[in-house]
């Protein structure tokens, strides 16, 4: 049971990091698009 809890924590941490990376890239794309639109 302890091993399972530790394993699930690692998995959830990895998933959160993946989500965070995807979210950051989306925000970066959106902000760069806005910047491009304001320039033209």
Give the tens place of pLDDT for each residue, 1-40.
Answer: 788 888 888 888 899 899 999 999 999 999 998 887 887 6
Alpha helices in 1-40 (DSSP H): 2-39
CA atoms of 13 and 40, how far apart (whole Å): 41
- Secondary structure class of 40 (helix, strand, coil): coil
Instruction: Tell me what pLDDT residue 20 has.
Output: 93
Instruction: Tell me what pLDDT residue 34 has.
Output: 86
CA atoms of 30 and 36, how far apart (whole Å): 10
Instruction: Tell me what pLDDT residue 11 has.
Output: 86
């Amino acid at each position: 049971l302890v091993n399972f809890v530790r394993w699930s924590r690692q998995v959830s941490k990895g998933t959160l990091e993946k989500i965070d990376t995807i979210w950051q890239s989306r925000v970066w794309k959106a902000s760069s698009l806005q910047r491009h639109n304001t320039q033209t």
